[in-house]
Amino acid sequence: MRFMVIVKATPESEKEGALPDPQLLLEMGKYNEELSKAGVLLALDGLHPSSKGARVKFSGKSRTVVDGPFTEAKELIAGFSILQVKSLEEAIEWVKRAPNCNPGSDSEVEIRQIFEMEDLASVLSEEQIQHKVAKRAELPNQTANK
């Protein structure tokens, strides 16, 4: 099972030019090395503040672009990782070992299971599933079924 671990943004991480604390980077590096050595880490990255991003709003056939920054930091993402583990419980145990990305304050990390093609068997034919699996395998850096 694959899970996306979503690190929520904070007002501090949303500041223009904000960079993580060097000590936090060292702690995160050690933690990420543990994940990697255990063979559960598939991907990870941090994100620039929302001021460097945009949102595209869909309304029927209309598309509207809204430039960042976005006001609610607690609804934004500062970074993510993708873990391949046996269960949600195992993902939770790994996340509980992570350093607090917002030392001295409360922070929250969300864990969400990623759909696999077999999860869609009730709505897709076997042919459609195999087609999607083949197309996914063509993508660079694909993390499914590794």
* Predicted confidence (pLDDT) per residue in 56-84, tens digit: 999 999 999 999 998 776 789 999 999 99
End-to-end CA distance of the chain: 10
pLDDT greater than 60 at residue 145: no
- Distance, CA of 38 to CA of 90 (rounded, Å): 12
pLDDT of the residue at 6 = 96
Q: What angle do CA 65, 71, 75 make, to 5 degrees?
A: 95
Across all residues in the chain, what is the average pLDDT? 89
3-class secondary-structure state, position 138: helix
Q: Tens digit of pLDDT for each residue in 16-53?
A: 777 888 898 999 999 999 999 999 999 999 999 999 99
pLDDT at 146 over 70: no
Residues 73-96 have a mean pLDDT of 93
* Residue pair 109/3 in contact by the 8 Å Cβ criterion: no
Q: Cβ neighbours of residue 74 under 8 Å, at least 6 residues apart?
A: 8, 9, 108
Average pLDDT, stretch 7-17?
85
- Percent with pLDDT over 90 in the chain: 54
At residue 120, the pLDDT reads: 82
Listed as own residue / partner, the contacts of 20-28 with beta carbons closer than 8 Å and 24 or more positions apart are 20/46, 20/101, 21/103, 24/99, 24/101, 24/103, 27/99, 28/98, 28/99, 28/101
User: What's the full length of the chain, in residues?
Assistant: 146
Say what the pLDDT of residue 88 is.
Answer: 98
What is the three-class DSSP state of 109?
strand
